Amino acid sequence: MSLLSSNEIRRRFLTFFEKRGHVIIPSASLVPENDPSVLFNTAGMQPLVPYLLGQKHPSGPRLADVQKCVRTNDIEEVGDNTHLTFFEMLGNWSLGGEKVGGYWKKEAIEWSYEFLTSGAEGVGLNPERLFITCFEGDSNAPRDTESAEIWREIFNRNNVKGERIYFRPADKNWWPQPKQKDEYSGPCGPDTEMFYDLSGEFTKGMSLEEYVAADNSQKIVEIWNDVFMEYLKKDGKVSGKLETQNVDTGSGFERLITTVQGKTNVFDTDLFEEVMIHIRAHSGKGNLVSERIVADHVRTALFMINDGVVPSNTDRGYILRRLIPRAVRHSDNLVLRGDEKKELGILTSIASIFISNYAEVYPELSVNVEKIYNEIESEEKKFRKTLESGLKQFEKIILNLKDNKLISGSDLFTLFSTYGFPVELTSELAKERGFAVDEDGYKSELSKHQDLSRQGSDQKFKGGLGGSGEVEKRYHTATHLLHQALRDVLGNEVSQKGSNITAERLRFDFSFDRKMTDEEKKKVEDLVNEKIKSKLPVNKIVMKKEEAEKTGALHFFGDKYGDEVSVYYIGTSLPEAYSKEFCGGPHVTNTGEIGVFKIVKEEAVSSGVRRIKAILN
């Protein structure tokens, strides 16, 4: 049989389980819908947790999918044969057990074996190279002899000889593994895992000791996992049984492809083959690790952007902002050149290949192609602006260290705050040069800086003002008018992201994803001046927070307010006011006191955030 392509393996998986009564559901976004505890979906089961806990799924009890996932805990390991930041998980699910039309261990295990070994419907792996582990039991749950017996019957029926079923402890055969996710709360249970002998040395079977040695040396690799979720984990401990029995079957797609296509690493599979050829064709210098890092990070970045993530200094945006510069730095290691024929930079030319190859499975990538290119190119340009000066400072720090091999927390903070170098980047650069970094010292510097910033904020920005003089009052009231005018001209998605007021000017940051046109700036300016000329009264009312929210008053600072809030509104009445916001004041009493409003600059602050500077005459 010829080698199966990745698209064919994906298609066969979904078709196999559809024929067995499963409804095919689309992948959820990489960004979890209602789970603030994680930045990304990191496992196939995450989007289905409510249904694993008993909620009825609208598509029924049998489901199958291919779920997009991102994990960045091992980002420094990317470049070896197995680690990736973006990956896909094949999954088939039984929600609620046999009583409601689902299934349990026997069907799950039978189908796992059938798909893995069938040449007609599955991926046609050699059953004599399969090895199985089952849960050995502990104080939380008994030994899983049921799964082991099902496997013995399957091997006997198919005349597969030799010792190949092993009982293992919870850190091997319980999901989630206790040592990895002590903080996890949710459904859990024993699992049975399938390993494949890459070496071909053990087709007649092997002892437990030989299995452990083969696993440690990666002569065998895990390719499939059936989790039998019948327990609930709460506050780090198994607290009892679930009311329902659920099956969570998963297989790492990239790892399965690597096995089926007979490769030793994922970067040699058809998922990456064209990209790796492209990188080598445009490279002036060979470096296998850098080639893999660039390929992996670009693929992850484009999928993140496709699902709405934009570069920023916090949360998901920070992860994206870490990946793209890392790809840039390693592309420079390779002396990579862009694709002149397509007029694309090197990172976007790599993205274009991935987008084309994934078009059949994720057609939305083609719809968002311009957005993906723009974000990658914009972030690359920003990083390159800081890279040269930051590297010069890094070299100075290294030179001054002399025999000391530790970069201090103070130097780490300087590189971050002044030159835009995340500590992870400095740490990588240091490691390449044989130096270590004082991350604890860096955290201490950050903490001290935040304390000073908070103290400064308390003094400088009481009530959102840079002072309480008459000029500052005029500027502050003008800021309210500016905020509402921006929403009128650009749309209600505009929201305040920060402001700074002095006696000379106002500065206002707001959410918006592109540069304003000259016409838009003129409209905003005219609208503010119109409200100033109308000499509208500026009023204050103190209300219960809940009541204030019902008025539609704008507020964008989360929980900083108490039970009672001050609402400033500009107009003759609260319901008909032009502007109304939660605010600490003080303001002018009438807009006619403000003066003539003039926008002097509009610029980008970060991805998705713009800044206006304005003066009053």
Please give the Cα distance from 359 to 141 (Å, whole number).
45
Within 8 A by CB and 6+ apart from 69, the residues are: 30, 40, 41, 42, 43, 44, 86, 87, 88, 89
Please give the Cα distance from 374 to 429 (Å, whole number).
27
Residue 173 has pLDDT above 50, yes or no: yes
Q: How many other CB atoms are there within 10 angstroms of residue 28's CB atom?
A: 18
* Better-scored residue on pLDDT, 574 or 278: 278
- pLDDT tens-digit map of 326-381: 999 999 999 998 766 666 889 999 999 999 999 999 999 999 999 999 999 999 98
Residue 311 has pLDDT above 50, yes or no: yes
Please give the Cα distance from 38 to 51 (Å, whole number).
18
273-274-277-278 Cα dihedral, nearest 10 degrees:
-150
Residue 558 has pLDDT above 80, yes or no: no
92 membership: H or E segment, kind and range:
strand 86-94
Least reliable range by pLDDT among 104-113, 434-443, 558-567: 558-567
Residue 88 has pLDDT above 60, yes or no: yes
236: tokens are 């780090």
Helices (H) and strands (E) in the chain, counts: 19, 18
Please give the Cα distance from 407 to 386 (Å, whole number).
20
- pLDDT tens-digit map of 391-444: 888 999 998 887 788 999 889 888 876 777 778 788 888 988 889 999 888 878
Taking residues 235-252, report their average pLDDT: 88
* Better-scored residue on pLDDT, 582 or 557: 582
Given pLDDT bands bounded at 50, 70 and 90, which one contains residue 38?
confident
Residue 39 has pLDDT above 50, yes or no: yes
- pLDDT tens-digit map of 259-291: 999 998 999 999 999 999 999 999 988 999 999
Percent of the chain residues topping a pLDDT of 70: 91
Residue 26 has pLDDT above 50, yes or no: yes
Task: Give residue 201's pLDDT.
Answer: 95
Given pLDDT bands bounded at 50, 70 and 90, which one contains residue 35?
low
Residue 2 has pLDDT above 90, yes or no: no
Task: Give residue 450's pLDDT.
Answer: 45
Task: Give residue 239's pLDDT.
Answer: 84
Task: Give residue 462's pLDDT.
Answer: 33
Taking residues 312-332, report their average pLDDT: 88
Residue 179 has pLDDT above 70, yes or no: no
Instruction: Round the average pLDDT of the chain to a whole number and report it.
Output: 88
Residues 426/391, Cβ–Cβ less than 8 Å: no
Residue 106 has pLDDT above 90, yes or no: yes
Q: Is 65 helix (H, G, I), strand (E, B) or coil?
A: strand
Least reliable range by pLDDT among 168-177, 578-587, 608-617: 578-587
Task: Give residue 37's pLDDT.
Answer: 66
Angle, helices 315-333/369-401, rounded to nearest 10 degrees? 70
pTM: 0.70
Give all domains of the chain, ordered by start, each with its CATH number. 6-268 (3.30.930.10), 273-399 (no CATH), 406-460 (no CATH), 464-616 (3.30.980.10)
Residues 351/374, Cβ–Cβ less than 8 Å: no
Nearest to 425 by CA among 437, 409, 434: 437
Least reliable range by pLDDT among 226-230, 432-436, 502-506, 594-598: 502-506
Residue 559 has pLDDT above 50, yes or no: no
Residues 131/195, Cβ–Cβ less than 8 Å: yes
Please give the Cα distance from 261 to 425 (Å, whole number).
35
Task: Give residue 457's pLDDT.
Answer: 30
